[in-house]
Structure 1
Amino acid sequence: MKFKLGIIALVGILAASINAFSQDLNFHIYLCIGQSNMEGAARAELQDSTVNPRFQVMEAVNCDNLGRKMGNWYPAIPPLCRCKTNLGPTDYFGRTMVANLPDKVKVGVIVVAIGGCKIELFDKDNYASYAETAPVWMKGMIKEYDGNPYGRLVEMAKLAQKDGVIKGILLHQGESNPNDSLWTRKVKGVYDNLMKDLNLEPKNVPLLAGETVNADQQGVCASMNAIIATLPQTLPNSYVISSAGCVDGPDNLHFSTAGYRELGKRYAEKMLLLLGYKISATE
């Protein structure tokens, strides 16, 4: 009997060792959430059509038009969100990261974002009531995540954790929560749920929150930046990424292609500093 128990214990240890070995500690993964500016609202250009293979995206929906299947990794050529979105800040976040990290390090992103949504859509306990009242055009996007964007993000993140290590969370949201004094608490609620559901240690997983289009670009939601600036007071391991000087598009709500590239680089610059690196190359 003791011999059998010993064999069982040995098999368990070996299985755990194999699982641990399959996880690449040099594969850094980032979860990216928000609304349309995180989706990407600017057309990619020719220079964006190639990417370092060390920068990967896990597709969070099935995209037949791109030849991508949900839950698989692909070279991070835009679009990185759903099948027909555009270039966003995540593109040049990842490109800048791999350009400045050691060659042995890969970077992967999972982007789950819904244009026009409030932060409430990522509230795991109350998302359904918000989704029910969403406009028809938004419901179609929500449906692509089986009605639960937060749930899809967690599902994909758990798959990704078999391959690498979650190093941070990128957020770009706020345009749909203007003057919401509770926004920082709502963001903290989403963050806390992710830490719990993915068994992450908060001190090791910073959240980087980008500003909306800045007042220097006549941003129509620039007033929200005053609230975003207070996020570190509610969520200690969070950092605000300035949008000052990031060129916007004609609607003064979304960034231009150049603006997204610059904002993405700024996300990367902050993350690199948190990892102990200095930015020396842009791509």
Structure 2
Amino acid sequence: MINLRYGVAGLFNLKMNRVIFILFLLVLSFNKTYSQDKNFHIYICFGQSNMEGNAKFEPQDTVAPGQRFQVLEAVDCPDLNRKKGHWYPAVPPLTRCYTGLTPADYFGKTMIANTPREVSIGVINVAVGGCKIELFDKDNYKSYVATAPDWMINTINAYDGNPYHRLVEMAKLAQKEGVIKGILLHQGESNNNDTLWTKKVKVVYDHLLKDLNLKSNTVPLLAGELVGEDQGGACAGMNKIIAKLPLTIPTAYVISSRGCEGVADKLHFSAAGYRKLGKRYAAKMLSLQGYANINPE
């Protein structure tokens, strides 16, 4: 029987009000578990050994930066008391458990030194020494892995055989807490003289934008030069190809390595070189965000 007090319309409205109330409670519950901080700026870092971190970090590099600079651990590191998918103060190593100093270290330190105190910085670093850019091609990486040397396979396996997937997995976790503001790349030694490199990088960049629902005009790509001619760089000629990246990706910017100290193998930077290069990545990012007069040295 229909309740005469309310009538058919009244009962419908009563039920709708209950549904709306339940939905409201669900939204409140969701907001408590998924709260994105617009002032937590996330930067994705990837590449090969120079992004991985080849130089041993020194005491000056291990000074804790405080809570404003964090790293999202991409692998489990029991000896460091770090777990994959958790944030920690950004004290090196920032890539894996036993890697060295990277450009990301001083990128982050320079960012927090030149942004308002309410802004904090987070980095995600997934890099594999010796790899070609093809390793980060989500559609074709398997064919590259199939021919990779055993020593590289061990590193690839640290990311469950798919470094690109791990990078996206960690980035999606980070997006629950902050906003991705840029992508940092250092790679090219293993693609030395590869004239298709810029197009291959674009494939990876486009995939990252799509998989993370990002827009190129708000998420620039910063690519660092390899050890330069002034340091006798073994792959310095590749810098001419890297210089053309903005022609393929209009939102890409090249970070100069001139004056960044290299080491004896002519492929990697010293700790001093990484510090300077990292500061230059930050100076460019800061300038793109409207900050002026940042001297990267």
- TM-score, normalising length: structure 2: 0.91
| CA separation of 1:281 and 1:104: change in aligned 2, threshold 3 A | farther
Cα deviation code 1:100-155 (max 9, x no counterpart): 11111110000000000000000001111111110000000000000000000000
Q: Which aligned pairs between 1:259-278 and structure 2 lie closer than 5 A?
A: 259-278=273-292
CA contact (8 A) 1:100 1:279 kept: no
- Fraction of identical pairs, as percent: 64
2:175 aligned with 1:161: yes
Unaligned segments of structure 1, at least 5 residues: none
CA contact (8 A) 1:195 1:202 kept: yes
Give the whole-Å Cα distance in 2 for the aligned partners of 1:8 and 1:191: 41
Q: Secondary structure at the match of 1:171?
A: strand
| Deviation at residue 169 of structure 1 after TM alignment | 0.2
Give the whole-Å Cα distance in 1 for the aligned partners of 2:139 and 2:19: 42
Tell me what 1:198 maps to. 212
2:58 aligned with 1:50: no
CA contact (8 A) 1:37 1:115 kept: yes
Q: Which aligned pairs between 1:239-254 and structure 2 lie closer than 5 A?
A: 239-254=253-268
Give the whole-Å Cα distance in 2 for the aligned partners of 1:279 and 1:59: 32
- Aligned letter for 2:234? V
Cα deviation code 1:160-196 (max 9, x no counterpart): 0111000000000000001111111111110111111
2:153 aligned with 1:139: yes
2:45 aligned with 1:32: yes
Count of residue correspondences: 282
- Aligned letter for 1:51? A
Give the whole-Å Cα distance in 1 for the aligned partners of 2:46 and 2:252: 14
Unaligned segments of structure 2, at least 5 residues: 1-14
Give the whole-Å Cα distance in 2 for the aligned partners of 1:55 and 1:47: 16
Tell me what 1:108 maps to. 122
| CA separation of 1:168 and 1:206: change in aligned 2, threshold 3 A | same
CA contact (8 A) 1:212 1:222 kept: yes
Give the whole-Å Cα distance in 1 for the aligned partners of 2:242 and 2:169: 28
| Deviation at residue 19 of structure 1 after TM alignment | 5.5
| Deviation at residue 235 of structure 1 after TM alignment | 0.5
| Deviation at residue 2 of structure 1 after TM alignment | 2.1
Tell me what 1:6 maps to. 20
- Aligned letter for 1:163? E
- Aligned letter for 1:248? G
Tell me what 2:142 maps to. 128
Q: Which moved more, 1:7-16 or 1:201-210?
A: 7-16
CA contact (8 A) 1:59 1:73 kept: yes
CA contact (8 A) 2:65 2:91 kept: no
| Deviation at residue 73 of structure 1 after TM alignment | 0.6
CA contact (8 A) 2:85 2:173 kept: yes
| Deviation at residue 24 of structure 1 after TM alignment | 0.8
Q: Secondary structure at the match of 1:264?
A: helix
| Deviation at residue 277 of structure 1 after TM alignment | 1.0
- TM-score, normalising length: structure 1: 0.96
Choose from 205, 209, 214 the match for 2:223. 209
- Aligned letter for 2:281? Y
- Aligned letter for 2:46? I
| Deviation at residue 6 of structure 1 after TM alignment | 2.0
Q: Secondary structure at the match of 2:261?
A: coil
Instruction: Compare relative contact order (CA 8 Å, sep 6+) and give the higher one, 1 or 2.
Output: 1
Tell me what 2:185 maps to. 171
- Aligned letter for 2:37? D
| Deviation at residue 49 of structure 1 after TM alignment | 1.2
CA contact (8 A) 1:99 1:281 kept: no
- Aligned letter for 1:174? G
Cα deviation code 1:226-274 (max 9, x no counterpart): 1100000101101000001111011110001100000000000000001
Give the whole-Å Cα distance in 1 for the aligned partners of 2:30 and 2:202: 33
Choose from 24, 41, 44 the match for 2:54. 41
| Deviation at residue 281 of structure 1 after TM alignment | 7.4
Q: Secondary structure at the match of 2:144?
A: helix
